[in-house]
Amino acid sequence: MKRILPLICILSVFIALGSCGQKKKNQKVYINSKVFDDPLIKKNQELSKEEKIAIDAYVKRNNFDMVETGTGVRYMIYEKGKGPAASTKDIVVMDFDIKLLDGTMCYSSRQTGAEQFVVDYDNVESGLHEAIKYLHQGDKAIIIIPSHKAFGLAGDMDRIPPLSTVVYNISLLEVIRKK
């Protein structure tokens, strides 16, 4: 970030000076986005690698036998249900605990009551939408959602800090088919 700020300042000065002279009609200014993109991409890759290492350590420490999706979401069904599978447009009702990798409890339906949402349509973490489609009514599962599929760079502005991996312990109580 320390290297990017001077580049932004210098670039701003050149743009400002260039705009003081005679403007030609439809003149275009091209900015080499590589100057900005490369350091940000590299930093994001480093953070993702560190997060994966932390998740791997958490899984190993807890002896979880988890399935990992292509996006890095992990899930483990520890009690099988007998109901229908959740799918897009279904309304799901669930009990849950949400914790951080360090064990900090963030939210629990024990205080708020069971939560419901429409799969792939409601405003919940994209990683939760993804993982819930692997579950059936009655399943109990642990779901680990990396920050990019959870609350991202900002956190939830309350109990979940920025760039946090979240761990859900879910009981999928009901799957209601949308007609």
pLDDT per residue rounded down to tens, the chain (179 residues): 444 544 454 545 455 555 555 555 666 766 666 656 678 888 888 999 999 999 999 999 999 999 999 999 999 999 999 999 999 999 999 999 999 999 999 999 999 999 999 999 999 999 999 999 999 999 999 999 999 999 998 999 999 999 999 999 999 999 999 76
Domain ranges of the chain: 66-176
Tell whether domain 66-176 is in CATH 3.10.50.40: yes
Q: How far apart are CA 38 and CA 48, in angstroms?
A: 15
- H-helix or E-strand containing 98? strand 91-100
- The candidate with the shortest Cα–Cα distance to 155, out of 166, 142, 143, 167, is 166
Spell out the alpha helix ranges (H) of 62-105: none
Q: At what angle do helices 4-20 and 34-61 cross, to 10 degrees?
A: 150
